[in-house]
Amino acid sequence: MKVLPFKIPKPQQNAFVFQIDKEPSFYDKLHQHEEIQISLIIKGEGTLIVGDTVNSYKKGDIFVIGSNIPHVFKSDLKVTKTSHMFTLFFTDRSFGVDFFNLEELNEVKPFFKRSKHGFRLTSKKNMLTELFFKLETASKLSQLIILLQLLKIFAKTNYKSLSSFVYNKKYSDNEGNRMRNVFEYTMNNFTQEITLDAISKVANMTKNAFCKYFKKRTNKTYFQFLTELRIEHACKLLIKQKETPIVSIAEQCGYNNISNFNRQFQIYKQQSPTAFKNSSHSNNQKMVY
Structure confidence by residue, pLDDT tens digits, 208-244:
999 999 999 888 999 999 999 999 999 999 988 888 9
Peptide bond into 5 cis (omega under 30): yes
Residue 2's pLDDT band, with cuts at 50, 70 and 90, is very low
**What does the pLDDT read at residue 174?**
80
Q: Give the 3-state secondary structure of residue 53.
A: strand
Phi and psi at residue 5, to the nearest 5°: -75, 160
pTM of the predicted protein model: 0.81
Residue 52's pLDDT band, with cuts at 50, 70 and 90, is confident
Q: What is the DSSP letter of 36?
A: E
* C-beta separation of 89 from 132 below 8 A: no
**What does the pLDDT read at residue 94?**
94
Mean pLDDT over each residue of the chain, to the nearest integer: 89
Question: Per-residue pLDDT for 150 more than 70?
Answer: yes
Q: Distance between CA 214 and CA 216 in Å, rounded?
A: 5
Q: Give the 3-state secondary structure of residue 156.
A: coil
What residue type is 193 in one-letter code? Answer: E
In terms of phi and psi (left: phi > 0; alpha: psi -120 to 50; beta: otherwise), the region of 125 is: alpha
**What does the pLDDT read at residue 289?**
32
CATH class of 190-288: mainly alpha
Higher-scoring residue by pLDDT: 126, 242: 126
Q: Give the 3-state secondary structure of residue 207.
A: helix
Residue 169's pLDDT band, with cuts at 50, 70 and 90, is low
Q: Distance between CA 21 and CA 39 in Å, rounded?
A: 10
- What value does the mean pLDDT take over residues 119-145? 95
Residue 281's pLDDT band, with cuts at 50, 70 and 90, is low
Give the percent of the chain with pLDDT over 90.
71
Question: Per-residue pLDDT for 32 more than 90?
Answer: no
189 by Cβ neighbours in 10 Å (0-12 / 13-18 / 19+) ranks as: middle
**What does the pLDDT read at residue 193?**
93
The full set of domain ranges for the chain reads: 17-161, 190-288
Closest CA to 54 of 245, 262, 269, 238: 269
Residue 31's pLDDT band, with cuts at 50, 70 and 90, is confident
The interaxial angle of helices 173-189 and 196-203, nearest 10 deg, is: 150
Question: Per-residue pLDDT for 283 more than 90?
Answer: no
* Number of residues that make up the chain: 289
Residue 168's pLDDT band, with cuts at 50, 70 and 90, is low
Domain 17-161 belongs to what topology?
Jelly Rolls (2.60.120)
Q: Distance between CA 31 and CA 17 in Å, rounded?
A: 18
**What does the pLDDT read at residue 10?**
53
**What does the pLDDT read at residue 286?**
47
